[in-house]
Amino acid sequence: MTSLFALMYAVVFVIGVWFLPSSIFGLIIMIAITVGMLLFQYGISPLIVGWLYRIDWIPYEQFAAEFPHLADSLDKVVAFRGIKMPRLGIIHDLNPNAFTFGWSKNSARVVLTDGILKYLNKKEQNAVFSHELGHVVHSDFILMTIVFAIPLLLLTIARWAYYASYFSRGSRSDSDEASYLRLALIAIAVLSFISYYLSYLISLIISRIREYYADEHSAEVLEDPNALATGLVKIAYGLLVDGNLEERKKSRVRALRGLGIFDPSAAKGLGIISVGTTQSFSMEAIQKAAAWDLYNPWAKYYQMFSTHPLPAKRIMRLNMLCDIYGIQPEINFSDAKRLKEEQAGKSMWDEFLWDIFMKALPTLVFIALLGITIVWIFDLVGFYTLTLLSPIYANMWLVWAVGFYIIGFMSIIKTRYMYKGGFEDKKVLDLVTNVKVSPIRTIPAFIEGKIVGKGIPGYYFSEDMYFQDDTGLMYVDYRFGIGIADLIFSLRTVNKLIGQRVRIKGWYRRGPSPYIQVDTIWSESGTRHRNYSKAFRYFWAVLAFIIGIGCLYFYFIG
């Protein structure tokens, strides 16, 4: 949906800058168009969500009869806050989710999945439900629409100023005046783009603050922050820890992935771990999983660009609220640092920087080649003369050929690094407690279990899935990267695989949450499904080699 509106915005903007004059009037028109697009998106988005998700809407009376513990909290919030009763829905999918959407707090929809009701205890269900109600009573629908509109308006100004500077060439008889105008417009474009980027980061900060406020609302409704804290452990890490000892002893494997309560753009998957029979073992597992949030530099990177705070940060904040209600926190990370150091040593920045280097390797070579080319062009047009480099400039076709061959080889090295061999049988438990894993540094693994739901529950076009073994659940990333291929797989295959036992070969990653990227899926029905995303990455190496061959051809015929 976001991509659709981005495409519409791009088309409208291109038409606008092409036909509108490069004047203040043109800027006003473009801002008006942008605001109109935002209002249109705000107005139609709840309808689109209702169309794209298979939601079973249920009347309040039925909801209260089936879930009286949730109805009690709902009645309390509605009466105290003076809002209209939200529309309530259930998605029949065992991938646990909870989210809310709508136009305002008096036209809200709150949706739960069967997974929420199956895998969370009643108190945790209530905590998650109250968190979503917190977004409703705080009018986050309207607030965040306005907040995220500001960066888009600044981007509109930046783009208008850039194109206006381009179209202003030759538009005035006075060349000096035209030059000053272009410089002013370019300065406006640069400052507006910088402001856009900073305002976007500020918008994400505000979004994360709103999540903290919704967490506080949940704690206030239940008068117990621990319920949401243990729920977040299940949602973000999949670890089962229950405040009720007797219930804990009877517990089985649980898992959750959040939409609304957890960042859907960041949540590539969530794994869970069976906690064993002792509190110490379960707390150790929790702290190993949380150590990634607390100490892995990749977590800091993802936090900066996330709409939701890192789960460990949210749990720590909820623990601080426990003093207000006179109770002891159930989750603590006092031993997380020691457990992390046992796995990864005192610092992980060296591995993080190496990951970044490997990820950017072909790009760095291309930038160097581009820099050499720009210097050569400036020398060619007489901007300056560098006689020492003349032999190189005389053989630029050869330089480009060598450069593209290096890019090709670097692409192969990068792919080999990100898609390692040496696959071994693993459990979800083994994978989720690994602190060193990253989106680049992977663990090649075979996992066996059952597909229990879609990656995005209720979404008709979800190509990803949810997997369960005897130790936990994990998000399965099947995305190929080519829209039509993903669409065909989502429509033809995903529903058939749900409920089947499977064996998956893939690469375990975390970014920031755990997931496995598929290479091959074997199902109990005898079908085999390959994902060629790794092979597709070699396409760029082949393309670079072909361009290099072309450059060699021109070098020899020259």
pLDDT in tens, 223-234: 999 999 988 888
For residues 400 and 404, give the distance between their C-alpha atoms in angstroms, rounded to a whole number: 6
What is the mean pLDDT of the segment spanning 541-545?
94
Supply the pLDDT for residue 6. Answer: 60
> Tokens 């020398």 identify what position?
379
Supply the pLDDT for residue 13. Answer: 61
Taking a C-beta distance cutoff of 8 angstroms, is the pair 328, 225 a contact? Answer: no
Phi, psi of 416 (to 5 degrees): -65, -35
Mean residue pLDDT of the chain comes to 82
| Angle, alpha carbons 34-25-35 (nearest 5°) | 15
- Looking at residue 386, its amino acid is L
The yes-or-no verdict on residue 413 having pLDDT over 90 is yes
Supply the pLDDT for residue 268. Answer: 40
CA torsion sign for 189, 192, 197, 203 is negative
What does the domain layout of the chain look like in residue ranges?
1-222, 239-346, 429-528
Taking a C-beta distance cutoff of 8 angstroms, is the pair 256, 235 a contact? Answer: yes
Supply the pLDDT for residue 176. Answer: 61
CB burial string 480-493: b at 16+ within 10 A, e below = beeeebbeebbeeb
For residues 204 and 5, give the distance between their C-alpha atoms in angstroms, rounded to a whole number: 19
Q: Is 132 a catalytic residue?
A: yes
- Chosen CATH of 429-528 out of 1.20.1050.140, 2.40.50.200, 3.30.70.920, 3.40.50.12500: 2.40.50.200
According to DSSP, residue 202 is labeled H
Which tens digit of pLDDT belongs to each residue from 347-372? 899 999 999 999 999 999 999 888 88
172-176, 237-241, 266-270, 503-507: which has the minimum mean pLDDT?
266-270
According to DSSP, residue 388 is labeled G
Question: Per the residue annotation, which of 132, 330, 351, 463 is the catalytic one?
Answer: 132
For residues 285 and 432, give the distance between their C-alpha atoms in angstroms, rounded to a whole number: 9
Which tens digit of pLDDT belongs to each residue from 153-192? 888 888 777 777 766 555 444 566 667 777 877 888 889 8
Tokens representing 55 are 């939601």
CB contact set of 291 (below 8 Å; sequence gap of 6+): 333, 336, 337, 339, 340, 343, 435
Secondary element (H or E) of residue 255: none
For residues 130 and 524, give the distance between their C-alpha atoms in angstroms, rounded to a whole number: 40
For residues 105 and 102, give the distance between their C-alpha atoms in angstroms, rounded to a whole number: 8
Which pTM value belongs to this model?
A: 0.81
Cis amide prior to 512 (ω within 30 degrees)? yes
Model confidence band, residue 389 (pLDDT cutoffs 50, 70, 90): low
Q: What would you measure as the largest C-alpha separation in the chain, in angstroms? A: 86
Phi, psi of 296 (to 5 degrees): -80, 125
The yes-or-no verdict on residue 479 having pLDDT over 90 is no
246-250, 281-285, 411-415: which has the minimum mean pLDDT?
246-250
Model confidence band, residue 194 (pLDDT cutoffs 50, 70, 90): very high
Supply the pLDDT for residue 275. Answer: 41
For residues 435 and 431, give the distance between their C-alpha atoms in angstroms, rounded to a whole number: 9
Which tens digit of pLDDT belongs to each residue from 23-75? 666 677 778 878 888 888 888 888 888 888 999 999 999 999 999 999 999 99
> Tokens 């760095």 identify what position?
364
